[in-house]
């Protein structure tokens, strides 16, 4: 197994970091790796905002409710960005571009581009011996994050990425069996799949009971049922439309 695969397969979320900040070289390496991610039609439809202002970090931590938003080596906010392209056109061009930019297709393009760039950044950081944690909870109050970062039309804050030197080494969380997520030719859902999910629920229950911190009794199925029977962040839909995206 090569070093790249070892880095990927060793991933775990780190939620406690030392106080050591990332160097300029590390930042440039991580962002440079993000920029080398695949991108639809060479659009590169994302922007990355590094948060260095302690007060701003504090405010973002208030939105998230997570202390590691403030306490890390560096905080990145990954934004879907079609504004950069829009600004390249004349007023006449912009009118013609609006139908495409405001479509669901281009909303998918920009969110996928952003996620690909972020995952490249995460793997690059981990290859440098750093830890990472994605922060979707910045969408707890997406309008406030938008205002704090002064984001223009056609730019949306999707998630954060906390990076730093790990102050913990948590156990690796199990993943769904390959057979459950990989299908050949057509979508497969049958009794075998249900049995594999039951086995995974048992594996996860054992993980939660044996791990060092936050022991509990739980299953993947119960987590998903709780999550999707209790809708959250429903304001994100209207916010996205207010930013003139995913409208058509």
- The size of the chain, in residues, is 248
Contact 29, 74 (CB under 8 A): no
Q: pTM higher than 0.85, yes or no? A: yes
**CA pair distance 45, 38, nearest whole angstrom:** 11
pLDDT in tens, 161-215: 999 999 999 999 999 999 999 999 999 888 889 999 999 999 999 999 998 888 8
pLDDT in tens, 28-50: 999 999 999 999 999 999 999 99
**CA pair distance 234, 103, nearest whole angstrom:** 20
- What is the three-class DSSP state of 17? strand
* 93 Cβ neighbours under 8 A, 6+ residues apart: none
Q: Could you tell me whether strands 74-81 and 46-51 are parallel, antiparallel, or unpaired per DSSP bridges?
A: antiparallel
Report the pLDDT averaged over residues 111-139.
98
**CA pair distance 220, 225, nearest whole angstrom:** 9
Q: How confident is the model at residue 71 (pLDDT cuts 50, 70, 90)?
A: very high
**CA pair distance 203, 212, nearest whole angstrom:** 16
What does pLDDT average to over the chain? Answer: 96
Q: How confident is the model at residue 98 (pLDDT cuts 50, 70, 90)?
A: very high
Determine how many CB atoms are found less than 10 A away from the CB of residue 34. Answer: 24
pLDDT in tens, 102-111: 999 999 999 9
Does position 222 have pLDDT exceeding 90, yes or no?
yes
Smallest CA-to-CA distance from 121 within 136, 139, 137, 133 is with 133
**93 burial level (CB within 10 Å; 0-12, 13-18, 19+):** exposed
């Amino acid at each position: 197994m090569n070093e790249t695969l070892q880095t990927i397969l060793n991933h775990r979320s780190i939620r406690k970091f030392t106080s050591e900040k990332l160097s300029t070289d590390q930042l440039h390496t991580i962002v440079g790796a993000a920029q080398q991610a695949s991108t639809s039609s060479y659009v590169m439809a994302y922007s990355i905002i590094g948060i260095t202002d302690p007060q701003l970090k504090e405010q973002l931590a208030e939105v998230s409710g997570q202390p590691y938003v403030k306490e890390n080596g560096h905080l990145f906010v990954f934004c879907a960005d079609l504004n950069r392209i829009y600004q390249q056109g004349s007023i006449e061009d912009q009118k013609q571009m609006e139908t495409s930019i405001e479509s669901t297709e281009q909303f998918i393009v920009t969110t996928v581009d952003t996620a690909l760039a972020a995952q490249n950044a995460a793997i690059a950081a981990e290859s440098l011996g750093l830890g990472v944690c994605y922060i979707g909870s910045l969408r707890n109050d997406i309008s406030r994050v938008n205002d704090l970062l002064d984001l223009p039309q056609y730019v949306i804050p999707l998630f954060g990425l906390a990076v730093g030197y790990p102050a913990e080494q948590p156990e690796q969380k199990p993943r769904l069996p390959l057979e459950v997520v990989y299908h050949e030719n057509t979508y497969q859902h049958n009794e075998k799949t249900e049995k594999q999910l039951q086995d995974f629920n048992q594996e996860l229950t054992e993980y939660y009971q044996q791990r060092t911190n936050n022991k509990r009794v739980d299953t993947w199925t119960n987590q998903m049922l709780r999550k999707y029977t209790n809708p959250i962040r429903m304001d994100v839909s209207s916010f996205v439309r207010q930013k003139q995206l995913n409208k058509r």
